[in-house]
Amino acid sequence: MNWPKTLSKPEQVRQTALGRLIVISGPSGAGKSTVVRRLLQKCPLPLELSVSATTRHPRPGEVDGREYQFLTPERFAQLRSEGAFLECKEVFGLGRWYGTLRQPVASGLKAGNWVILEIDVEGALEVMRCDLDPITLFIHPGDRQELERRLRTRKTETDAQIAARLATADAEYEALPYYQHLVINDQVERAVDEICTILKQYQDG
């Protein structure tokens, strides 16, 4: 692969990193965004959420550059061909791309921040192979009925999209053994406290 001059290879990122990389995955609807939002408020570590790029459309209330960088498929493809992504995937097979931009992650780590990637399982497995020594957590919703209930309550997807997300979830559970930590998001505050306690174990080491 041709790496752009302005961006760093994973091993260069790791060598200059002062912070830690954290990968959080789990099925869509498990509560990752809810938990991460609260974690950022509550956990006294220098956490920073990586803003992914996506070709999906913004949901009501989502702001470009805050929840995601919303890109056209053409711009996304261009960045992909330039090697600008640490990882990127077509999630749920519905033609929507999501990706982690290499440059903001590198500068966050260099600044000493603990950079959180909230990404799907396929992307996470790619990052695990990247020699960036991530701390990896899998957020579990409890059971399938609860996952479906949460997706329906959120009211952000059509029935077809919910079906695609539930089908993907079944496959995602199979990747559980690759994660260092499993956290059941039965109650948001409890799950957040558990994640914060896990992360603190990595301080000074």
The residues of the shown chain that bind ligand ADP, judged by CB under 6 A, are 26, 28-34, 150, 153-154, 185-188
**Maximum CA pair distance of the chain?**
48
Q: Find the part of the chain contacting ligand 5GP (CB under 6 A) among 95-103, 139-147, 174-182, 187-195.
A: 95-103
Residue 48 found at the interface with ligand 5GP (CB under 6 A): no
| Comparison of 48 and 87: residue with beta carbon closer to ligand 5GP | 87
| Nearest in space to 39 (alpha carbons), one of 185, 201, 196, 197 | 196
Query: How far is Cα 183 from Cα 198, in angstroms, rounded to an integer?
Result: 10
Residue 123 found at the interface with ligand 5GP (CB under 6 A): yes
Q: Find the part of the chain contacting ligand 5GP (CB under 6 A) among 1-9, 41-49, 85-93, 134-142.
A: 85-93
Residue 10 CA, chain-centre distance (Å), reads 17
Residue ranges in 43-156 assigned as alpha helix (H): 73-81, 102-110, 121-128, 144-154
Taking CB under 6 A as the criterion, which residues in 140-169 touch ligand 5GP?
none
Pairing assessment for the beta strands 135-140 and 21-25 based on DSSP bridges: parallel
3 state DSSP class of 197 = helix
Residue 118 found at the interface with ligand 5GP (CB under 6 A): yes
Which parts of this chain interact with ligand 5GP (CB under 6 A)? 28, 52, 56, 87, 89, 91, 98-100, 118-120, 122-123
